[in-house]
Amino acid sequence: MPAIYSVGIDLGTTNSVLAYSRIDEKIAEVCFLAIPQIVSPQQSEAMSSLPSFVYLPTDSEKSDGSLSEFGEVCVGSYARRISAEQPERTVAGAKSWLCHQEVNRHDPILPWQAPEEVQKLSPVQASTLFLKHLVQTWERAFPESPLCDQQVTLTVPASFDVVARELTLEAARNAGLPNDLILLEEPQAALYHWLHTRGENWRDNLSAGDRILVCDCGGGTTDLTLLEVDQEDGSLQLKRIAVGNHLLVGGDNMDLAMAHFAAHKFAETGVKLSPWQSIGLWHACRAAKERLLSGSDVQSHPVSVLGRGSRLIGGTVSIELKREEIEQVLIDGFFPRCTAQDRPESDASIGLQELGLNYESDTAITKHVAAFLNDHRSPSDTAHDIGIPSRLLFNGGVFKSRVLKQRMIDVLTSWKQDSNSIEVLGDERDLDLAVAGGAAYYGWSKVNGGVRIRGGIASSFYVGIEASGPAVPGMPRPVQALCVAKQGTEEGTESEIPNRQFGLVVGKPAKFRFFSSHVRSEDEVGHMLKFWDEGELVESNSLEIVLADEAASPDVQSENGSSPKTNPNLIPVRFQSKITELGIFELWCVSLRDQRRWKLSFNVRPKS
């Protein structure tokens, strides 16, 4: 059956949203599905978004069934609300853990450092639960149109590496989404939403040569994407030219900053918080931040944590946070004024650290934006002109605060060398729904035609090649980086690495190393890097696997009939690379002896 609906899903760090549009309509009408969820014991309610939180009920809560309407665990609004009281039983930020390379993302590790008696989930399991809840909601609303038969577009951060994208796909398939779903980068989805809201009039706001900065600051990450407006055959086209690194700084950091500020206020009243009370305070500050920065007239908001000390058993402790205090903490800490040449500061690391999410050491988002624009300046930009964008599109819940949004505009404007203003695209009222709505519109436009953002993959990809040469005791052979996919390659493209052959280790454990680069956009497929500057290449997860040698080829005979000394575990191969329609990078190794093929993808470590 052909798909009836184009469905867009925003799997967010803080909230998840589902949007849809009928494919057979000549003009896309994007709708948003209300999502039923537990809001308090024995009570459910349909809401416009599903908070990306999981509460792991106690045995008594499981037995009384008060939270079991949608499954054994509680997902959504109540899970988010109870997080301040029961942080050790609440999974939050699962999406950020999907791209954490230092842990096995199939291991049950969340809630992080929760007591042994608490049930735990893996980041993949938690993500599956959010998506499964959305799938079940759809099936109830559209029983005649199963979601697995629709055209589904699922969004991911533009800076997600391929491993995180693969894990997102795994969670999606576990939840019952179709195998051929499309992955779309969130900043692009936000821009597609703006295009949809403008209709055919979008060209009235843009001109050839305009640069558009999409500044997406959500709950867990800040995502930066730079696009350019081109003119082709008299028609304006949109082209993505750069994507920033994965920056773990966003609303979660702001909640932590508020919690730190609030802890000092508690200390002034003589209350010293325990570690779990501090985590509860972090969750409580999230609600206070959203209330105080919502644009309403609320000037203060109480923050409470559950009492845990001997004097406080069964009670709570509270303080009052004022709007002006919080605005100052967040503006100075996250959007300080800086110059266009400033860069984020990197603090010296302590030798031993607690394992956890790799949050940015410098929370100054304005400095990260300056560094991003400097790294992706055009050849015509001067040392003092880093090509400040002429158009700015905000996305993410952080920018629902007008004061934070205005500070970002003021800082960008201060960097300009001319008096032209920066035009802001979009409306802050759309920030919660823009990504899902844009994804639904993107799927509709693939079938019905419409403007498409060009640009292909955001990074160049490389595979590590061990250099040949004599062995030296105590010194590993140097690793070179072979470009196997050029930045800008369109999805669905296959490439043959020209005029090169390499040895592939099979039949025994081997380590494969992969790299990517947002800044080396000129490297062609087949270009070998022997040296590179710090920061030019970013290493993705290495793979330590055994590639099966199912049909070993006979040794090649020399001219006199004797067998040369060969390594039976080393097979000469050529490389083929492919960027799938899902935006996943695959490297195929093809045997020069018998055309056997092995696929090296940036998959996760084997499950333990």
Comparing 241 with 474, the larger pLDDT belongs to 241
DSSP annotation of 63: H
DSSP H/E element including 133: helix 123-141
Do residues 21 and 166 touch, judged by C-beta distance below 8 A?
no
pLDDT higher than threshold 90 for residue 382: no
| Averaged pLDDT, 203-218 | 91
> 550 pLDDT band (50/70/90 cuts)?
low
| Averaged pLDDT, 461-475 | 78
pLDDT higher than threshold 70 for residue 553: no
Looking at residue 313, what is its pLDDT? Answer: 42
pLDDT higher than threshold 80 for residue 252: yes
For the segment 284-293, what is each residue's pLDDT rounded down to a tens digit?
888 888 888 8
CA distance 484 to 475: 27
pLDDT higher than threshold 90 for residue 280: no
Per DSSP, the chain holds a count of helices (H) and strands (E) of 12, 31
CA distance 589 to 596: 8
β 585-591/597-601 pair status: antiparallel
What order do you get walking across the sheet with 90-92 strand by strand?
74-75, 53-55, 90-92
Q: What percent of the chain has pLDDT over 70?
A: 88
Looking at residue 405, what is its pLDDT? Answer: 92
Top-confidence range, 29-38, 212-221, 343-352, 558-567: 29-38
> 35 pLDDT band (50/70/90 cuts)?
very high
Looking at residue 392, what is its pLDDT? Answer: 96
Looking at residue 166, what is its pLDDT? Answer: 85
> 567 pLDDT band (50/70/90 cuts)?
low
Q: What percent of the chain has pLDDT over 90?
A: 39
Half-sphere CA count of 18, side-chain side, radius 13 A: 25
Looking at residue 350, what is its pLDDT? Answer: 47
Our CA angle for 388, 394, 396, nearest 5°, is 140
Q: Across the chain, what does the average pLDDT equal?
A: 84
> 563 pLDDT band (50/70/90 cuts)?
very low
Do residues 67 and 44 touch, judged by C-beta distance below 8 A?
no
Q: Is 430 helix (H, G, I), strand (E, B) or coil?
A: helix
The identity of residue 20, as a single letter, is: Y
CA distance 178 to 6: 12
Picking from 426, 433, 399, the residue whose alpha carbon sits closest to that of residue 47 is 433
CA distance 578 to 565: 34
> 603 pLDDT band (50/70/90 cuts)?
very low
CB atoms within 10 A of CB 574: 17
Structure tokens given for 438: 């844009």
Looking at residue 558, what is its pLDDT? Answer: 29
Looking at residue 315, what is its pLDDT? Answer: 63
